[in-house]
Amino acid sequence: MSIELLALVLIAAGAAFFVVGTIGLLRFPDTLCRLHALTKADGLGLGLTCLGVALLVGSVGEMLRILLIWGLVAVSSAVSGHLIAGHVLRSNAPVRGR
Amino acid sequence: MIDPLLLFDVILGLAIVSLAVTVLVVRDRFAMIVLVIVFGLMSALAWVRLAAPDVALAEAAIGTGLTGALLLATWRQVRTEPERWPALPRGVMVINMGLCALVLAGLVGAFLATPLGTPGLGVAVADNLADSGVEHPVTAVLLNFRAYDTLMEVVVLLVAVIAVWMIDRGVSQAPQPTLGPELGDLPRGFARLVLPAITVIGAYLLWVGTSAPGGAFQGGAVLAAVGILLLLTQRYQPQPSHRPLARGVFVLGVAGFAAVALLVAGGGRVPFEYPADHAKTLILLIEGLVTLSIAATLAALFHGREPEAISTQGGRS
């Protein structure tokens, strides 16, 4: 019971990070700021959600698979963020403070 | 008290419909592609809600990931052209609307004519699952009970890649546009890190398909992502000398599939009536060959035209 409650809290916290990140994506002025909001939300939100789900599954194998999914998404999210930021810097898109 | 999941389903359904409408209405090509990708992800979620994880996996991997990559690669080649569509003649629009209305009427008719609460063919599949050679009903249907349809689906992919190579050979003598800017060290490191993992995951999806959601199409799509990453990071550059090998891999799935069907038909059986002792082996053999073909075909579609010598100027090798 307490484990399920803990998982619920973790997943809810993860969802909250996604909501905050989405608000940032919609409200922030330029691509780099939006990227900042999105990558933070993505990293923490997904991490917390995966942690919560991992607590709920029964077997060690499934836990390891969730861990693998989290690792792959985290790495690809970081690399895509880097690629988009590099593209913004090379292009003439408006960036605050340039 | 409303079931909160029902609320979720209604919101999801509305989101899918409004995404579809927005894709048709928006005038910016890039926004259109992004919306199609989001539409695919939402559809995958809807398939999960309909308890069809196999379809959800295929929708996410092929319908969203690979189609998105194909659309973006196409966008890269046409983005310098003006963003204007020629106006359609009114007659064509009226005919299109009429055809769409006919399809809609057919779907509504089929839905209304189906009695509610019938088990469908699920019972028949469950009854015969033990004879199919695999434990997962979807794989049993795809590779055994209606294997002929699946063979035709693999043929469609083969025809697609033949068509793309033929058309590109005809329309353009211009030098091949590069896939993208030099990506730098980070994506190369990323590729080195994830490529082994993706390869294992693709093979795992193929193998697990005999007893759980997964299979040749899902595994093939994931392996195609390996090819796309290799192409994007320029770790693999197609050469004209690779063409025979590529053609061989394209037809491998269809050829192997058809060969098994004909071979089992030899001993007084009908095609696709696998001998019970070897059903699982044969299904895995077919799926393995089809997976390789799907992966190579999808990656080749992403690359576009057939490989040619880059050093020659304008001329064909």
- B102 inside 8 A of chain A by CB: no
What is the mean predicted confidence (pLDDT) over B178-200? 79
Do B17 and B141 lie in a common domain? no
Instruction: Kindly calculate the radius of gyration of chain B based on its CA atoms and give it in whole angstroms.
Output: 22
- A-chain residues near B190 (CB < 8 A): 75-76, 79
pLDDT bracket for residue B290 (50, 70, 90): very high
Residue A93 in contact with partner chain B when CB distance is under 8 A: no
Number of structural domains in chain A? 1
pLDDT tens digits for B124-137? 888 888 888 888 88
Q: How far is B265 from chain A (nearest CA, A)?
A: 41
Dihedral sign for Cα atoms in the order A33, A35, A38, A40:
negative
Question: How do residues A11-42 score in pLDDT, each as one tens digit?
Answer: 999 999 999 999 998 998 888 888 888 888 88
Which of B40, B57, B85 is the C-terminal boundary of a domain? B85
CB contact under 8 A, B190 and A68: no
A75 contacts B187? CB cut-off 8 A: no
pLDDT > 90: what percent of chain B?
A: 38
Q: Chain A contact for B184, CB < 8 A?
A: yes
Report ipTM (2 d.p.).
0.84
Residue B64 contacts by C-beta under 8 Å, 6 or more apart in sequence? B37, B40, B41, B43, B44
Residue A28 lies in a domain: yes
Residue of A75, A82, A86 lying closest to B194 (CB–CB): A75
Of B186, B193, B194, the CB nearest to A82: B186
Same domain, B214 and B131: yes
Indicate the pLDDT class of residue B181, thresholds 50, 70 and 90.
low
Is residue A96 domain-resident?
Answer: no
Stretch B163-169: mean pLDDT = 82
Residue B11 lies in a domain: yes
Q: Which of B187, B193, B197 is facing A83, going by the closest CB pair?
A: B187
Q: Is B108 inside a domain boundary?
A: no
Q: Is residue A98 predicted with pLDDT exceeding 80?
A: no
B1 with B139, same domain: the answer is no
B107 within a domain of the structure (yes/no): no
In this prediction, residues B25-37 reach a mean pLDDT of: 90
Residue in chain A closest to B183 (alpha carbons) equals A83
Count contacts between A and B (CB, < 8 Å): 16
Predicted local distance difference test score (pLDDT) of residue B313: 40
| Whether B148 and B249 share a structural domain | yes
**Is pLDDT of B234 > 60?**
yes
Q: Is residue B246 part of a domain?
A: yes
Residue A67 lies in a domain: yes
Residues 6+ apart with CB under 8 A from A31: A84, A85, A88, A93, A95
The domain boundary residue, chosen from B60, B85, B110: B85
Coil, strand or helix at A56: helix
- Residue B55, domain extent: 1-85
**Other C-beta atoms within 10 Å of A42: how many?**
19
Q: pLDDT by residue (tens digit) across A85-95?
A: 888 888 776 66
**In-domain check, residue B61:** yes
Distance from CA of B132 to the nearest CA of A (A): 27
What pLDDT shows up at residue B315? 39
Examine the pLDDT at B297 and tell me if it is beyond 80.
yes
Do residues B127 and B66 share a domain?
Answer: no
Chain B nearest CA to A83, separation (Å)? 8
Cβ–Cβ contact B186 with A under 8 A: yes
Give B1's contacts (C-beta < 8 A, 6+ positions apart).
Answer: none
Average pLDDT over residues B229-240: 84
Mutate to test the interface with B, among A22, A34, A83 (most CBs of B within 10 A): A83
Domain span including residue A69: 2-90
Nearest residue in B to A77, CA atom:
B190
* Out of A38-42, B17-21, B168-172, B281-285, least confident range: B168-172
| Last-in-domain residue among B31, B62, B85 | B85
Overall average pLDDT of the B32-59 stretch:
93
Residue B111 lies in a domain: no
Contact between A68 and B187 using a beta-carbon 8 Å cutoff: no
- A75 closest CB neighbour out of B183, B184, B190: B190
> In this structure, are B64 and B129 located in the same domain?
no
Q: What is the pLDDT of residue B177?
A: 55
Which residue from B249, B195, B242, B253 is spatially nearest to B223, judged by alpha carbons? B195
Q: How far apart are CA A86 and CA A77, in angstroms?
A: 14
- Examine the domain organization and report whether B65 and B137 are in the same domain: no
Q: Are residues B166 and B290 in the same domain?
A: yes
Closest CA to A28 of A15, A12, A16, A39: A39
Is B219 found in the same domain as B130? yes
Q: How many domains does chain B have?
A: 2
Which residue blocks in chain A are alpha helix, DSSP H?
Answer: 2-27, 31-56, 60-90
